[in-house]
Amino acid sequence: MLLRALAHRRVKEAGIDISMKRLLAELDEIKEVILLYPRKRGANTEPQDTVLSKTSELQQSLLSILHVKPEEIVPLG
């Protein structure tokens, strides 16, 4: 079974009636952004934060159902 078919089945079982095409389009619009900050004196690496682009309620539901969103990633915007 294809991964996309499995994801679509999980979303349907969770009660969201959505086509495969729309599911893929909604997930495709979610972007992960890495923010880099200036390195502090004496530090070896640049501090960074990983955030997601602003998401709709549907996208938030899809991320939750599919267990995609790590807790340490904060939505941007």
- 11 C-beta neighbours (distance < 10 Å), count: 20
Q: What is the mean pLDDT of each run of 10 residues along the chain (77 residues)?
A: 91 96 95 86 80 90 84 58
Planar angle of CA 57, 63, 65, nearest 5 degrees? 100
- Specify the pLDDT at position 38: 86
From the number of C-beta atoms within 10 Å of its C-beta (0-12, 13-18, 19+), residue 45 rates as exposed
- Specify the pLDDT at position 71: 57
Q: Domain coordinates of the chain in residue numbers?
A: 3-75
- Specify the pLDDT at position 18: 96
- Specify the pLDDT at position 72: 55
